[in-house]
Structure 1
């Protein structure tokens, strides 16, 4: 283990005379590793009245920085020759501490985030190049950090690591504070400033998949081709986009594709599901909050998605679930790109593109006054309407094969084929849950597949949610006689099979009866038919 010693450490043992000599010499003395050899070396230098500026000791090596205008390596070797264990002496250009310092500075210079080291009074002891660049034309070392930061110095000196939102020279940062502890007392701190924009990009990476969102939109139907053309055209336009469509049609995928193809693609893409967050928290998630804004708020405050996504895109899914109060606040932001944090008084700006989505009918919402008409017109500058899967049945086969490949890869399962009758069932099913339901069904089919292929029976079992349609359920319903048992069985049969064969003719062909009989039975058992 290396040991760095100043001459003062030896003053109690060896008197050293200082001379006003300007020429310096740095040497590395190699020796046998034994106790006291460094003190003997220093005693030799003291006998010549040479000024020792610093000394560093490692196992078998002693590094000395001398003020000396006459001595050279040969003189030193001769001087030290009668010390037991001395092996060699060579001149060096830098002491080990200087080499380490250069490496540390080179490392810190490569870190693009500002780093500052302060003492217990807030004086800046050291900083990296990124921190120095924040203050143009002024050396910030030895100045008090309180001059630049909007936080009390005492609040920076805690006994454990913590993070806090700060403004350094009026620029927002998240500060990671690492205390310096000496004898159980906080004697300083190392402050690592992370820009809010960079934090937004990091959060975006956590949310984002590596997939090319546009290529992940699978299908050859005219409806899908139109959507792809709209995405490519709208991506270059820095205007709000509204995406509508039933649940499970892929609204977030379209939003990601719009961002990835836009000029903002190097900046964050952050998404927020307005239906998944309680109303009191939704405002703070979107706009952020100041310190002490409400009970339970972090002392440091918190940046919102709008601040984190500055320069990028925010996707607000299920925007129709937003309260009228938040709708008004969002409308104001869309009008002039300014906002206030919860509990804040300062007007902030953010350059953010807003993409919204909902599966609800906005005309009905506006009539019922649950959604602001002025906000609707503000978010509905550009619109993409996603069709349900039932209206693009020609894409079901290509989607099925795509999901089979993905499921086999993710489940480390041999990739099965799918029988034509099974494919027909999938194509004819109405898919009320759209693409998400189809994907989940395929994953379940692949996971349960014991053979090399997926059969029609496999599809019926998974889609119906039951392995069989039999008398077991009839016993549970306590059937009283033959006729009621037969009627209950017919009803169960039709309820299970009709979604897979969503027309009277298709179901009649499947059960080998007339379509009039199927229609009559559906009416008799009050089974809802598809228009």
Structure 2
């Protein structure tokens, strides 16, 4: 029985009330006192409220009393627990020794297979690192394996009298973080409608893409450089039932073996010198529930091929330096421009991995085999380029279009896109004619050394030096005409600046694009005679 006693604010009245209860040997479980109110929780099934009320009449200053459902502390605890339970992320409150004081419903669901009571247990039972690493006097975050699942732990210290008495840990799933990361990688969802083309091969490709999107199986995409393999991979993801989850992409050709391994699989706390506190999740964890696109998968080392093969068998892996198995559900889409059967014959690519990745396959036609789509692509790229350089969209003559359709386009759509960006950026009139096209095509062919002009990640994003935060691959400098390292570097700088400066026509814009100081850009532009 719980009762509230309202009384005058008189010194000693609470002691008199408790003295009455003590005289009658009533079992008091708890009491709470505020000004004018005394709350008492009594454990005695035979006791009646009228007996209590009658006993209190002898005390001067009692105004009234009645039964209540909860003590004030119990009511506050219920409200707090309700608030915590409405938070979708797991929350764990621990004391300075690591004992779990309280959890919310999200944590209970995460620990649904644990049959004994969670409160009172040490959190060390559920994590892969010493609890001391979590007890901090500052708000911090770290990667944490909790009950064999990877999370980002946000840690808030509980401080009393300047001492840390425990921490409150909020867990965020790697899948939700991966979704946020994929949004940062691409601001817009690229679906099947972003694939421009009406020729028979593209229509068939769209149909196959939509069909494969319904099947939760690995997909292998083969196509020449610049044909839009990542765009197709994103369309696959957006058309699938996992389109609300993360789509993450990595170019396997841009990182050395050890860095690619840690990017894919992550690493455990203390795995190597300089490792982040608490370790780091890999892309497999971040893409949990979604899709991971492995571009240029043929560039993987044999060691990583074996590790990827093991992962594809049961979708479990260990972080670099870790000792616990992590299980995720990720759809793998891989791509390459190389001839994998030939690499298999040369023992440079594992045959068993090839069959794991190539369950479903898509072949992207080169631009020279879809010339009827060039007018559509041209119009789209001209409109996009004009918008980005803040110009009125120019018209293109039929002769210029014919010239574009007759070109072989070894760099495919990426090359067409970059050529049109350059034409639009340098064009001062309202019409693009065949002479403008000839001039730019000739310039591309005669440039030695040459670089890949800046491509777009997709049809709607701004020019960038890379497609997934990785370094953009640059064509190898021809050995002919190279005198020494210094001259080759100077030639490269000049070509790069000549290509980018029309697209970012100020030292500050170009410096921001290349992530260097605008003073350095101004100096280099003058050094190479691009500006005076």
Q: Does 1:197 align with 2:175?
A: yes
* Aligned residue runs from structure 1 range 331-410, under 5 A: 331-410=309-388
Bigger mean CA deviation after superposition, 390-399 or 371-380: 371-380
DSSP 3-state at the match of 2:255: coil
Aligned with residue 422 of structure 2, among 444, 452, 458 = 444
| Residue of structure 2 equivalent to 1:312 | 290
Q: Does 1:116 align with 2:92?
A: yes
Q: CA RMSD in A?
A: 3.9
Aligned with residue 324 of structure 1, among 302, 305, 308 = 302
Conserved in 2, the CA contact under 8 Å of 1:26 and 1:95?
no
Alpha-carbon distance in 1 for matches of 2:313, 2:75: 56
1:184 is displaced (CA, Å) by 4.5
Alpha-carbon distance in 2 for matches of 1:435, 1:26: 82
Alpha-carbon distance in 2 for matches of 1:239, 1:170: 25
Q: Does 1:217 align with 2:195?
A: yes
Alpha-carbon distance in 2 for matches of 1:186, 1:48: 35
Alpha-carbon distance in 1 for matches of 2:117, 2:372: 68
| Residue of structure 2 equivalent to 1:431 | 409
1:194 is displaced (CA, Å) by 1.7
| Residue of structure 2 equivalent to 1:284 | 262
Alpha-carbon distance in 2 for matches of 1:266, 1:101: 36
Deviations 1:123-164 (A, max 9, x none): 334433322444557654455434444433322112333333
Alpha-carbon distance in 1 for matches of 2:371, 2:141: 52
Alpha-carbon distance in 1 for matches of 2:77, 2:6: 16
Q: Which segments of 5 or more consecutive residues in structure 2 lack a partner in the other structure?
A: 19-30, 41-52, 64-68, 448-532
Using CA pairs under 8 Å that are at least 6 residues apart, name the structure with larger relative contact order, 1 or 2.
Answer: 2
| Residue of structure 2 equivalent to 1:474 | none
Conserved in 2, the CA contact under 8 Å of 1:26 and 1:94?
no
Deviations 1:503-531 (A, max 9, x none): xxxxxxxxxxxxxxxxxxxxxxxxxxxxx
DSSP 3-state at the match of 1:165: strand
- The alignment's TM-score, normalised by the length of structure 2, stands at 0.66
Cα gap change, 1:143/1:343 in structure 2, threshold over 3 Å: closer, same or farther? closer
DSSP 3-state at the match of 2:138: coil
Deviations 1:391-444 (A, max 9, x none): 211111001112233334444443333233332333233322211222223333
| Residue of structure 1 equivalent to 2:431 | 453
Alpha-carbon distance in 2 for matches of 1:112, 1:205: 21
Aligned with residue 152 of structure 2, among 174, 185, 195 = 174
| Residue of structure 1 equivalent to 2:280 | 302
Alpha-carbon distance in 1 for matches of 2:13, 2:270: 63
Conserved in 2, the CA contact under 8 Å of 1:65 and 1:95?
no
Alpha-carbon distance in 1 for matches of 2:73, 2:3: 20
Aligned with residue 4 of structure 2, among 21, 24, 27 = 24
Conserved in 2, the CA contact under 8 Å of 1:245 and 1:385?
yes
Alpha-carbon distance in 2 for matches of 1:135, 1:381: 35
DSSP 3-state at the match of 2:194: coil
Alpha-carbon distance in 1 for matches of 2:83, 2:372: 57
Return the index of the structure with the highest Cα Rg: 1
DSSP 3-state at the match of 2:192: coil
| Residue of structure 2 equivalent to 1:129 | 105
1:287 is displaced (CA, Å) by 2.2
1:53 is displaced (CA, Å) by 4.3
Alpha-carbon distance in 1 for matches of 2:305, 2:158: 46
Alpha-carbon distance in 2 for matches of 1:47, 1:364: 90
1:170 is displaced (CA, Å) by 3.9
Conserved in 2, the CA contact under 8 Å of 1:271 and 1:317?
yes
Paired residues in the alignment total 413
Conserved in 1, the CA contact under 8 Å of 2:150 and 2:281?
no
Alpha-carbon distance in 2 for matches of 1:277, 1:143: 43
Conserved in 1, the CA contact under 8 Å of 2:92 and 2:100?
yes
DSSP 3-state at the match of 1:272: strand
Cα gap change, 1:49/1:405 in structure 2, threshold over 3 Å: closer, same or farther? farther
Cα gap change, 1:217/1:135 in structure 2, threshold over 3 Å: closer, same or farther? closer
Cα gap change, 1:449/1:110 in structure 2, threshold over 3 Å: closer, same or farther? farther
Bigger mean CA deviation after superposition, 250-259 or 300-309: 300-309
Alpha-carbon distance in 1 for matches of 2:70, 2:209: 61
Cα gap change, 1:322/1:117 in structure 2, threshold over 3 Å: closer, same or farther? same
DSSP 3-state at the match of 2:377: helix
Deviations 1:102-131 (A, max 9, x none): 775554332211112222222334433322
1:96 is displaced (CA, Å) by 11
1:274 is displaced (CA, Å) by 0.3
- The alignment's TM-score, normalised by the length of structure 1, stands at 0.66
| Residue of structure 2 equivalent to 1:264 | 242
| Residue of structure 2 equivalent to 1:519 | none
Deviations 1:456-499 (A, max 9, x none): 34434444449x99xxxxxxxxxxxxxxxxxxxxxxxxxxxxxx
Deviations 1:36-55 (A, max 9, x none): xxxxx956896997899455
Conserved in 2, the CA contact under 8 Å of 1:132 and 1:139?
no
Cα gap change, 1:341/1:25 in structure 2, threshold over 3 Å: closer, same or farther? same
